[in-house]
Amino acid sequence: MLALVSLTLGIGLLTAGRRLFWLFIAAVGFMAGAQLATRVWGSSELNSVIVGIALGLVFAGLALFFKSLAVGIAGFLGGGTALLNLAGFVGLDAGAMTWVVFFIGGVIGIALLSQLFDWAVIFLSSIGGASLITQAIGLPDFAGSAAFIVLIIVGVAIQGKVLSEEKKHV
């Protein structure tokens, strides 16, 4: 069940994370909630999905009504989650340093979102989408890392092309 939700959200983020900003924010909430439920509380898959969906819905509401606050929170959680996933993909087990890695990623995420909003959302949503897809598929180490990188490139290319076409028409 978690794999299907992750795969669906991952494809949405990879292809339309910037255009559907609320989806990006909701997916960040889902990823953070599901990971926290699993890593911190050791929850079952069903509980992780429920916590993820609940936090995702809260974040979607924030994105619709309080965009600036949602951008800051999503930047922090998205950057933190992305850095944790990147650390895991390159074989670094954060262990006791998990919160430090998450915090550093969060600060980077906030900085990216506030300075380079469109491209930051494209990049972070591509990383988030690639993370969700590769985790859902469950590829082995090298194949998973290679697929992760390729999916990020594909997501940035798709969303970057849409952004440049939108800017041509403005």
Assigned domain for 89 exists: no
Q: Average pLDDT over the chain, rounded to whole?
A: 84
- 81 in any annotated domain: no
Mean pLDDT across 20-43: 81
Distance CA 123, CA 43 (A): 30
Is residue 129 a part of any domain in this protein?
yes
Is residue 21 classed exposed, middle or buried when 0-12, 13-18 and 19+ CB atoms within 10 A define those classes?
A: buried
Residue 20: pLDDT band by 50, 70, 90 thresholds?
confident
| pTM of the entire predicted model | 0.64
In a domain, 90, yes or no: no
What's the rounded Cα separation, in Å, for the pair 129 and 111? 20
Predicted confidence (pLDDT) at residue 23 exceeds the cutoff of 90: no
CA dihedral (89, 136, 139, 160) positive or negative: negative
Residue 94 forms part of a structural domain: no
Instruction: Decide: 67 and 37 in contact? Cβ < 8 Å.
Output: no
User: How many domains are there within the chain?
Assistant: 1
CB atoms within 10 A of CB 146: 12
Q: Which residues span the domain enclosing 154?
A: 2-74+120-168
